Structure 1
């Protein structure tokens, strides 16, 4: 009982100082987990009495989560759509690669793949569960496509040879190194595409001290992560 009372008093002092009683963050599935976990680790040490609540969403799901005030902060892809009411701050660029299992017919060809060629095979596409991107397609090159709302499921389908598709490089780097997946080269399409990612929050509800600290730490670790990646590519 004494411990519980002490915790309540400590939280009350934090709230009196303007610190959020809880920090909720919606995160796009494409965001590097290495950056997020490092930020969460130091956040727990800096704000031990502020619970952290994370929601993982895809495409428009992050923006919708923040707009509906389910989360104070969103970490989202900069989609080519207009979303009013949000302020954004750039964090980093996520490198995307097209991959398939070694047993897949496209992975067995060394030459760059033409559009007609890839259109003959199932493309695994991440789908949006919200209405924000209705009628829009992002990097869809095949009329034959299977749509999945979960990036982990898409990863598993790729490893099983059920199709080809784009994935964040960080998520499949070990698979590429181990030969479980192979990178595909498509004609007239850059081999690796970068997707810009930003922190977002409602214009009428900017983050408090804990939220602002969380965003700044994301930026710091994002810079370190990008620097390490550049060093690896140079080596």
Structure 2
């Protein structure tokens, strides 16, 4: 017949005895009688069929087998504590997971700053971030596929909290022909060169993504690969100035001078598929996100205003 399994409480008692230095000290720490502590260890050794503790004077010492089991049981106790904490978090109403649709235009370090703070208050809430573009964000909101969204366009009839303005500048690598001409560029000239575009991530792709009249286009689904193409001189682009700030400062890309205004601007909003369905983690993240934007307001490039 198989022997009864050792309980988590018995493992906790063993760890406490070793940490505190003896049975009496562990009894005080755990608010138990010394006889209860002694019985738990005696029963444990009986169940395991081996001696795990010896008494040297007044101090409890582990046997060789006991040292091995103590090391292995640390993981067991740690996982049990995490499980208990997660259950307590759910009992208190914290969401087990929240999903965020984040427009790729939004500076990701600001979101990460807010999420880092969220993790300290809600460590058992997992976070899923979906990087989306234009109508792709709207579709996620309308399908209730996310808990909150950062978007440049609000759903029809929807409302949101303005977060910041993102400015776009017409840019190209210094080696690009458009960057090397001295006179201002006219739109007819742009049409003769390749445009670098980030694709609308929506299924129906209703977003136009700015001026798209160039005969040649390279369309990417990811902003970072579009940036690589731009840096390597493969075309021009209307790019979010703040996300290109380092490259502009380093001269890796340069603004192109149009005959008419060559800067555009869009506002990013924080919105929800169902504002009344927000849980405590989502509500806290909203506060932390706004705090992070305010915190970085003075340090962010002038092209971004909160």
TM-score bracket for this pair, using the shorter chain length: 0.7 to 0.9
Return the offset for 1:116. Answer: 0.9
| Residue of structure 2 equivalent to 1:201 | 272
4+ aligned runs moved over 6 Å, structure 1: 230-233
| Residue of structure 2 equivalent to 1:18 | 93
Return the offset for 1:28. Answer: 1.0
Alpha carbons of structure 1 residues 178 and 170: separation in structure 2 relative to 1, 3 Å:
same
Contact map agreement 2:137 2:202 (CA 8 A) in 1: no
Return the offset for 1:74. Answer: 1.1
What SS does structure 2 have at the residue aligned with 1:11? Answer: helix
TM-score by length of 1: 0.86
What SS does structure 2 have at the residue aligned with 1:48? Answer: coil
What's the CA shift string for 1:93-142, capped at 9, x where partnerless?
112222101110111124321111111111112221324543x5232153
- C-alpha distance in 1 between matches for 2:292 and 2:182: 36
| Residue of structure 1 equivalent to 2:224 | 152
- Radius of gyration: which is bigger? 2
Contact map agreement 1:88 1:199 (CA 8 A) in 2: yes
What's the CA shift string for 1:30-65, capped at 9, x where partnerless?
101221121122122222121121111111222222
In structure 2, runs of 5+ residues without a counterpart are: 1-75
Alpha carbons of structure 1 residues 67 and 41: separation in structure 2 relative to 1, 3 Å:
same
Residue of structure 1 aligned with 2:294, choices 209, 218, 223: 223
Of 157-166 and 29-38, more deviation after overlay is shown by: 29-38
In structure 1, runs of 5+ residues without a counterpart are: none
Higher relative contact order (CA 8 A, sep 6+): 1
| Residue of structure 2 equivalent to 1:33 | 108
What SS does structure 1 have at the residue aligned with 2:245? Answer: helix
Contact map agreement 1:86 1:203 (CA 8 A) in 2: no
What SS does structure 1 have at the residue aligned with 2:163? Answer: strand
| Residue of structure 1 equivalent to 2:191 | 119
Structural mapping, 1:1-235, within 5 Å? 1-78=76-153, 83-84=155-156, 86-134=158-206, 136-144=207-215, 145-189=217-261, 191-203=262-274, 206-229=277-300
Alpha carbons of structure 1 residues 110 and 219: separation in structure 2 relative to 1, 3 Å:
farther
RMSD of the alignment, in Å?
2.3
Return the offset for 1:187. Answer: 2.5
Alpha carbons of structure 1 residues 231 and 114: separation in structure 2 relative to 1, 3 Å:
closer
- C-alpha distance in 1 between matches for 2:123 and 2:202: 34
Alpha carbons of structure 1 residues 36 and 110: separation in structure 2 relative to 1, 3 Å:
farther
- C-alpha distance in 1 between matches for 2:139 and 2:276: 15
- C-alpha distance in 2 between matches for 1:53 and 1:138: 25
Aligned residues: 228
- C-alpha distance in 1 between matches for 2:190 and 2:297: 31
- C-alpha distance in 2 between matches for 1:168 and 1:230: 12
Return the offset for 1:86. Answer: 4.8
